[in-house]
Structure formats: structure tokens, C-alpha cells
Structure 1
Amino acid sequence: MRQRWPLHDRAVPVVAWRIVIVLAAVLAEAWNIVNMVRDGEPPTEHFAYFTVQANILVIILMLWMLRSREEHRPRWFDHVRGAITAYIVLTGLVYAVLLAQPDEVWSWSIEYTNAAQHRFIPWMVGLDWLLVPTARRIRVSRAAWWMAYPIGYLVASWLRGGLIDGWFPYPFLDPGEHGGWAGLVGPTGQVLLAFLIGILLVATVGRLRYRAPGPAAASLDSSPSSTSSRPYSNSSP
């Protein structure tokens, strides 16, 4: 009989790890909200950052996994977990490559909120995905749907900035930074391509790491689930 992989959903180290992720994410966002109120930043701007949205999604995901068992989750749950993992990991990578000032990338003098939301939480969630297998095997072809949220975010940001208040959350979305809308093809295309490649890599890792622990997992994978009837400075996201 094949021995079960020790880092499963209910293992004590995994539960503890996910609790730490939740606490770190909640503290970072609470700190952000305090700064938002103190500095007079409009909530409509603060919560429009992909970084903030991705970290909130992480909190929801981790609480969901902590409160429910694998067999009680819908069949599509592992794709939701994979998508949120991809969003937060790519948030950290895009920040390091495109948004951080050169002296911030490896600096430890940045604020906790910046370090947590762009460094600690992305890598902690990424390790959770790498070390704790999914309940069902991921279909990489279906992971293309994970791009729906980044694309929707992009369109919503352009509609808001172009038609409503002229505010864009990131420089690679701002036509004023690139000589007009045509100038956005390059920087925005690079970000979208990075997301597509990153999503496919995360999905592939999830598929390769999948290991059915035994007959119970096989039945879980084959039977329907009972529930089936997403900044420039240290202080900004």
C-alpha cells in the first residue's frame, strides 16, 4: 500500500503554515488600510491595485482551506487554488522586475506591507502549492481560463482611466507614460505574456506534483463533489 505524502491538507505543519500566511496577509492589509486613512488615499484607488486584490484573494483561499476538508470542496476548487497561487506569485515577480526601484529589489529596509505583499506571501503561497498536492489532477489546458481575471483587470483599469477619472494603477497601463495608447502594446503585452507563461508553469507544477494517496483520493477524483450541485514606492501597493 502506497504511503501517503506527509504534507497533505490536514497535516499539522500545513495547517500552521497556512495560518501564518493568513496572519501575515491580514496584518499587511490592515496596515495598508491604516496608512490609507492616515494619508487620505481614496479607497477606490487603494483597492484597485492588483497587489491588494491578489492578497485579499489569498486570505479568502487560505481561510477556505483551513475551514473545509478536501472532500467537501467543489470539483473546481483546485483550479481556483492554482489561479490564486499564480496571481500572487506573479504579483511578486512583476513588482521585482517592472515596478520596484533598483534599490528596493533586494533591500530589507522597505516597509512591512511592501515586503509582505510582494515577497513573503507570494513565496509562501508558492511553496504551499509546490509541497501540498491538489485533491484532483490539474488539467493544464483548462488553466488558460485563469487568464480571465488578469485580462478583466486590464480592461477595467483602462476603462476607468480612459473614461472616468484618468487614474491608472500601474505605469505599464498608463498611456501618458508611453506616448499614447499605441505605446502600451509593448509593456502591457510583456506583462500579459509573463502572466500566461507563469500560469501555465504553475498549472504544470500542480499537475506534476499531484499524487493520489490511495483509494479515497481515487474516489474523490472520480465522483462528483457534494457541493458542486489580484506600485512604485515603499508605502504603495
Structure 2
Amino acid sequence: MHWSWFRIVAAITGFSGVVAGFIVNVDRAARQGHGLDEVLANYFSLFTIISTLLAVVTLLVAASWGMRHAGTGREPLGIALALAAVTGPVLLLGLVYNALLRGLPAPVALGDSVGIAMLDSYAAEVLHVVLPIYFLLDLLLAPHRRGLPWWSLAVLVGYPLGWTAYTMVRGERVGNPDGTTAWWYPYPFLDPHGTGGYPSALLYIGAILAGFLAIGTAIIVIGRYRERRAMRHGAPAARGALPV
């Protein structure tokens, strides 16, 4: 089976998780009397949702290239960078969710119907378990993966830093849909109005950046190792010098 089909299935699955979460948020907004436009603007500002949508587009583009260039060599640098740039966030989301957040109660889920609760659970599992597992397998097993130059580490952390800057600026300019505060941050540890204020939020941001640097480094090391190994075995996908 051509690996591109795995990428297509993963993209469809990831998108279904985003749709499931969309339905859940629309239902909760209607039941709780929150403004739908505010709720959806917040939903599509979540790191999980943005990262998943970027991952879906990247997987489809990579799959399309793979279908048209089966067995012709390494994937283009642009596709390799895009795959690496979405792999880091997806893997970190999976690690954080399963290590720290799994099993915690969700107060906003009170009053959900059985169907909505199932959709919510489905979205959480797809976005934080299924998709991270797939991206790990893609990193380790997908053919034609290209070894990335070390300067690409700046690209891999650029998106998370951009999202963080956007979130910290936006957080002060939008109110909580439930009307309790004049600000809204998607994750409590980024909220400078909480315990610890800005020093605490900046400490978490620093820890997150360190996590992305570590994961980005691992992604580059694995890609370069796989390409060197392919070159030693004379694989056609490894033609061309390994980038510095």
C-alpha cells in the first residue's frame, strides 16, 4: 500500500476530530447562551485546532506529491519542512494531554447529552492520541523523508512562537464568552491574571519553547539518521547530499 494513502486517511481522521469539536462547541454555545461568533473565534484560535488543520493540509499536500512522484527520490524541502513543522506541535500536544490532562474533569461538559459527550471524547482521542501516534509513525517509517538542515530548527519553533505571541495579544482584547472576565486565554497557564501573573505565564512559555526545541531537534536528528542510513544502503530516495 502506498504511504500516501496512510497520509490521506490520517488527514481525514484529523479533520473529523476538528469537526466533532466544532459540533460540541456550537451545541454548548447554544445551550449556555454564549455568543456563537465568540465561541467559534476562540475555538479556531486553539493551538490544538490550528495545528490539526495545518497538519491536515500538509498531509494532503505530501500525499498528493507522493502519488505523483512515487519512487522518484526525496520529498521536496518545502514539504519536508512543513511535515516537520506540524509534527512537533502534534507530538507535544499528545505528550502534554496524555501525561498531564487525561482524566481531568471538564466543567464545561456539564449538561452535555450522551451524543455530545461522545463527540467530545472522540475529538479528544483523535486530536491527542490518534494523530500524534500517526505522526510518530510517519516520522519513523514514511519513505522519501528528507533529512533537514539544522537551520530548519528555527522554522520548527517559529510557528509555536507566533501562535504564543498572537494568543498573548489577543487574550487581553477578547472577553470570556460566559461574561466572567474581560479577557480570555485558551489555557490557564498562559493567563497572566492568574496566580503568579506574567512571571508564571512567561515561565510556562519558556518551558514550552524548550519542549519544542527538544522535539524539533529530535525530528531533525531522526530525519538525518534515516537519510544517512538510506544512503548507506543505496536507496533511490536518498540521492543527493545531506544538508548541513
**TM-score (norm: length of structure 2):** 0.74
| Alignment root-mean-square deviation, CA | 2.6
Q: Corresponding residue for 1:173?
A: 190
In 1: Cα distance, 2:134 partner to 2:236 partner: 28
Mapped to 1, the partners of 2:126 and 2:203 lie a distance apart of: 29
- What is the match of residue 144 of structure 1? 154
Question: Any unmatched runs of 5+ in structure 1?
Answer: 1-11, 223-237
1:126 matched to 2:140? The reply is: no
**1:65 maps to 2:62:** yes
The answer (yes or no) to whether the contact 2:153–2:216 under 8 Å persists in 1 is yes
Output the CA distance in 2 between the equivalents of 1:178 and 1:160.
20
Distance 1:33 1:156 in 2: 21
Aligned residue for 1:177, secondary structure, equals: coil
Tell me the alpha carbon deviations over residues 98-151 of structure 1, each in whole angstroms, 9 at most, x when there is no partner.
4444589xxxx9711100100111111111111114443212342232111101
2:226 match: 209
Shift in alpha-carbon separation, 1:186–1:144, aligned structure 2, 3 A:
same
Match of 1:26 among 6, 15, 31: 15
C-alpha contact 2:147 2:220 (8 A) present in aligned 1: no
Task: Tell me how far apart the structure 1 counterparts of residues 225 and 157 of structure 2 sit (CA, whole Å).
Answer: 21
- Report the 3-state secondary structure (helix = DSSP H, G, I; strand = E; otherwise coil) of the residue aligned with 1:137: coil
Q: Structure 1 residues 178, 191: closer, same or farther in 2, change over 3 A?
A: farther
Q: Aligned match of 2:51 in 45, 51, 54?
A: 54
Instruction: Rate the CA distance shift 1:208–1:195 in 2: closer, same or farther, 3 A.
Output: same
Aligned equivalents of 1:39, 1:102: Cα separation in 2: 19
- Aligned: 1:111 with 2:139: no
Indicate the structure whose relative CO is greater, using CA pairs within 8 Å and at least 6 residues apart: 1
Shift of 1:38: 1.6
Q: Percent sequence identity over matched residues? A: 26
TM-score by length of 1: 0.76
- Give ranges in structure 2 of 5+ residues lacking alignment: 30-35, 107-117, 176-182
Q: Aligned equivalents of 2:208 and 2:191: distance in 1?
A: 13
2:87 and 2:201 map into 1 onto residues whose CA distance is 27
CA distance in 2, matches of 1:218, 1:183: 46
The number of equivalent residue pairs is: 206
List per-residue Cα deviations over 1:77-116 (Å, max 9, x = no partner).
Answer: 2111111111111111122334444589xxxx97111001
Distance change (3 Å), C-alpha of 1:56 and 1:97: same
